[in-house]
Copies of this chain bind each other. A is one copy, B any other.
Amino acid sequence: GFEEFVKTAEGAKILFAEKGGEGFAAIKPGKKITAVIGPEGGWEASELDLAQKHKFQIITLGGRILRAETAAITITAMIQNHFGDLS
């Protein structure tokens, strides 16, 4: 389940949320990055609490709400662009 996942995640741990987080520039990448996006309808407060308890950093992309299908590719592109070889 979600708790097991956030407990065992490795590297820089980032959770994208539609509000309340820091900007993308706040990400400090390690060699590994674990990035998670929310489900349709967004995160439960209890999930955000659990993620933060396990050192996930909450990141918010300027108020845009993306479809789940698009969000995964969008965020992968941004991470590869800033920290990987997509540039």
- A contact face: mostly helix, strand, loop, or mixed: helix
Residues of B close to A73: CB separation below 8 A: 70, 73-74, 77
Give A29 to B32 CA distance when docked, in angstroms. Answer: 32
- Given A24-B81, A81-B81, check contact A74 B86 (CB 8 Å): yes
Residues 49-87 of chain A: 1 if any B CB is under 8 Å from the residue's CB, otherwise 0?
000000000000111100000100111111001000111
Give chain A's interface residue range (CB within 8 Å of chain B): 10 to 19
Minimum CB distance partner of A24 in chain B: B87
A67: nearest residue on chain B (CB-CB)?
A: B73
The residues of A with any CB-CB pair to B shorter than 8 Å are 23-25, 61-64, 70, 73-78, 81, 85-87
